[in-house]
Every structure is written in structure tokens, then in C-alpha cells.
Amino acid sequence: MASMWTERLKEKIEETFGCEFELFIEFTCLISWYREARIGWHSDDNRLYLKQRDFSVRLYSFLCVVLELSFYWRTSNVAPSAGNVIMYTADDGDIHSVDEITDGKRLTLEMWS
């Protein structure tokens, strides 16, 4: 089932960013975020060993309810709901942060290509 989701998301990235048949999936994981989890300002290629990342995809809470979440970019904020997908470049053009989870948990499917 995971391969079906990742392949569909990869195709959507290629379509959205105009790079059909050019991407490979570098890493995919399912992450459960609990109370007090947070991430400060960063890009998703912020280490030398991550520089091969071109795009990031986050599928929010496809198995559970989002209880509290704020995802920030320098120029906008996103409060996704269950089933929403966020796609963005992994470089320093899309530096972002995630507020502290103050209640409950959230589940995300993360993918980098």
C-alpha cells in the first residue's frame, strides 16, 4: 500500500513542478508526532548528506485526526487537515518550521525525492 501512495505522490510532484520522469523517491517514512514535538526553522536539505533532495511531500493524518498543527513558511502559514498534501522544494527557498504539539498526536507520511 505504501508504494501506491508514494508513486501517486511522486507523479503529482512531477506534474506540479514540470519534471515528469525525472524524479526518484529518496526516502519515505511514517512519523507519529506526540506532545511537545516541534521543529525549528530549517530546509529539508540542510545537511551535506541531504543535498540530493529536490522536493518534500507531507501527507497529513491519513490514519488519524489532526488535533493541533501549525506549519509555517517565511511568507505563509498552513494548517492542514486530515488527508491534505503539502509539496514544496527541499532547498533553502522553502525554509519552514513546525509549532510545538500541545495536545494529542499526529501521523504524517513524509517523502523526499
Domains of the chain by residue range: 2-112
Report, at the CATH architecture level, how domain 2-112 is classified. Answer: Sandwich (2.60)
User: What does the pLDDT profile of the chain (113 residues) look like in tens digits?
Assistant: 457 777 888 888 888 888 877 778 888 888 888 888 888 888 999 999 999 988 888 877 644 443 344 455 556 677 767 777 888 888 888 888 887 888 777 778 788 88
| The three cell numbers locating residue 53 | 533532495
Alpha-carbon distance of 31 to 73, in angstroms, equals: 21
Q: SS3 letters for 78-107?
A: ECCCCCCEEEEECCHHHCEEECCCCCCCEE
- Measured in residues, the chain has a length of 113
